[in-house]
Amino acid sequence: MERHTKLMIRLSASEKTFLEEIAAEQGLKLATWARRKLLRDGREEAASEDSPLYGANGNGNAKPSLLSLFCGPGGLDEGFRQAGFHTSLATDIDKDCVATFRHNHPDTRVFSAEISTLTPRKLDRIYGGEFAPFGVIGGPPCQSFSVSNVHQKDDDPRHNLPLAYARLLKALNRRRPIAFFLFENVPGLLGPRHRDRYLRFKEEFQLAGFKVYEAALDAKDYGVPQERPRIFIVGINANAFPGAEWLPPRPTGELRTVRDTIAGLPEPVHNARGLDPETFPVHPNHWCLVPKSRKFGNANLKEGQMFGRSFRTLRWDAPSWTVAYGHREVHVHPCGHRRLSIYEAMLLQTFPREYELLGNMTAQVRLVSDAVPPRLGYFVAQSIRMALGLETEAPGAKHQRFRQTHVREPADMFA
Amino acid (one-letter) located at 405? T
Q: What is the largest CA-CA distance in the chain?
A: 72
Q: Are 112 and 102 in contact (CB under 8 A)?
A: no
**Cα 2 to Cα 7, 31, 35, distances in angstroms:** 16, 22, 21
Cα–Cα distance between 351 and 339 in angstroms, integer?
19
Catalytic residue numbers?
142
3-state secondary structure of 412: helix
CB atoms within 10 A of CB 343: 28
What are φ and ψ of residue 30, in 5° steps? -60, -45
DSSP 132: -
Q: Give 5: exposed, middle or buried? Use CB within 10 Å, 0-12, 13-18, 19+.
A: exposed
Q: Which of 270, 183, 274 is nearest to 230 (CA)?
A: 183
Provide φ and ψ at 11, rounded to 5°.
-125, 145
Q: Identify the H or E element spanning 342.
A: helix 342-348
Q: Nearest CA to 345 among 267, 271, 286? A: 286
The rounded distance, in Å, linking the Cα atoms of 217 and 280 is 35
